[in-house]
């Protein structure tokens, strides 16, 4: 039926299984309250502890094979899977009351007139580090729809469903908000995903609807200075979840040429654009291919320098330093060419 693993709960044959599965049977769950001599109201459920808790904010898929019990006159499609913590089976009545949980409703995919096995799945974003999985019907008798079929073998009034092949997959997430220099990556790679059917789409909606990447991790080599909101859409079996990460970063400075010809009596001049960032004190300017006749300075974003080219040095000016934005500081090296007027 299922095994306990960090990335999924499955039977033998799945490469992600890290612990022997608990049998190859099928769970037959009554989905309304049973009256017993021990307690007048009891309900059948599957319960298991996860080896590793799910991660808050992570996007997950819970899969199962489900089948309505059409042998009985009374039928129902109610069955859910809930991730929770603190559940004690021995101390809970028929329909346990869980104060915090994430849920997948398998009944949405279950047809109670079909006697064949059907694949059911659902996506959820973890709201806590839950470490337990419970499968069954959590709805009250009054909220559990029951239909009366025909041609069934058994006439009892307790509807039931069959459940098998439970799998819990971590599909990834967009990651935590951060401030980082270029280049950077966002997203958490999923180490164990379903064998097929998962797709990823990264976007920056405030800039464009274009898809920036189609994997669980997005690598960003260049962008503008600012706070960028990237969204990750994960789709699986017709459902989608969206996660967002905000990244503060600083782009390298750029320059425009005012005068790049080194001639006696004139100054080289360039406007350096730091965008939203500011140039920090302590920067350096080197010019190995130039004999300066006046010091190089950057004043209000304009670099000026006078001198004559040397015969063997490179015709470049190199500015090295750091720039800051919104509490983030990033190093940069800006190489600026010049020409010899001779």
Per-residue pLDDT at 95? 60
The pLDDT, as a whole number, for residue 26 is 79
What are residue 91's phi and psi, to 5 degrees? -105, 10
Residue 245 tokens read as 């990460």
Helix (H, G, I), strand (E, B) or coil at 180: coil
Q: pLDDT at position 342, please?
A: 66
pLDDT at 38: 56
pLDDT per residue over 164-220, tens digit each?
888 899 999 999 999 999 999 999 988 777 768 899 999 999 999 999 999 999 999
CB neighbours of residue 4 within 10 Å: 20
Tokens for 118? 């059907």
CB 284 within 8 A of CB 303: no
What is the structure's pLDDT at 7? Answer: 38
Half-sphere exposure of 58 (CA within 13 A, CB side): 22
What integer pLDDT is reported at residue 254 of this predicted model? 97
- How long is the chain? 342
Task: Record the pTM.
Answer: 0.83
339 contact partners, CB below 8 Å, separation of at least 6: 260, 261, 262, 315
The pLDDT value recorded for residue 25 is 67
Helix (H) or strand (E) holding 200: strand 198-204
Q: What's the maximum distance between 2 C-alpha atoms anywhere in the chain? A: 106
C-beta separation of 109 from 54 below 8 A = no
For the chain, residues with pLDDT lower than 50 are 1-23
């Amino acid at each position: 039926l299922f095994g306990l693993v960090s990335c999924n709960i499955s039977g033998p044959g799945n490469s992600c299984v890290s612990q022997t599965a608990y049998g190859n049977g099928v769970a037959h769950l009554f989905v309304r309250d049973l009256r017993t001599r021990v307690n007048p109201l009891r309900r059948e459920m599957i319960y298991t502890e996860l080896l590793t808790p799910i991660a808050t904010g992570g996007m997950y898929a819970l899969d199962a094979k489900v089948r309505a019990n059409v042998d009985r006159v009374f039928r129902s499609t109610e069955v859910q899977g809930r991730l929770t913590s603190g559940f004690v089976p021995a101390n809970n009545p028929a329909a346990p009351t869980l104060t915090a949980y994430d849920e997948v409703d398998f009944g949405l995919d279950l047809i109670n007139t079909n006697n064949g096995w059907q694949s059911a799945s659902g996506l959820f974003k973890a709201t806590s580090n839950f470490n337990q999985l419970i499968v069954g019907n959590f709805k009250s008798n009054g909220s559990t729809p029951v239909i009366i079929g025909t041609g069934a073998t058994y006439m009892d009034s307790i509807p039931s469903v069959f459940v098998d092949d439970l799998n819990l997959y971590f599909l990834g997430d967009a990651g935590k908000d951060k401030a980082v220099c270029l280049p950077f990556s966002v997203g958490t790679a999923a180490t164990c995903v379903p064998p097929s059917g998962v797709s990823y789409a990264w976007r920056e909606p405030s800039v464009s609807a274009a898809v920036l990447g189609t994997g669980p991790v997005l690598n960003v080599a260049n962008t503008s200075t600012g706070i960028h909101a990237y969204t990750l859409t994960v789709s699986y079996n017709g459902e989608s979840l969206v996660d967002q990460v905000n990244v503060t970063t600083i782009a390298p400075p750029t320059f425009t040429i005012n005068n790049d010809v080194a001639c006696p009596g004139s100054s080289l001049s360039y406007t350096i654009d730091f965008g939203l960032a500011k140039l920090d004190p302590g920067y350096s300017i080197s010019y190995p291919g130039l004999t300066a006749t006046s010091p190089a300075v950057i004043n209000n974003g304009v670099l000026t320098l006078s001198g004559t080219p040397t015969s063997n040095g490179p015709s470049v000016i190199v500015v090295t330093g750091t720039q800051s934005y919104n509490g983030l500081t990033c190093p940069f090296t800006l190489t600026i060419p010049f020409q010899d007027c001779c």
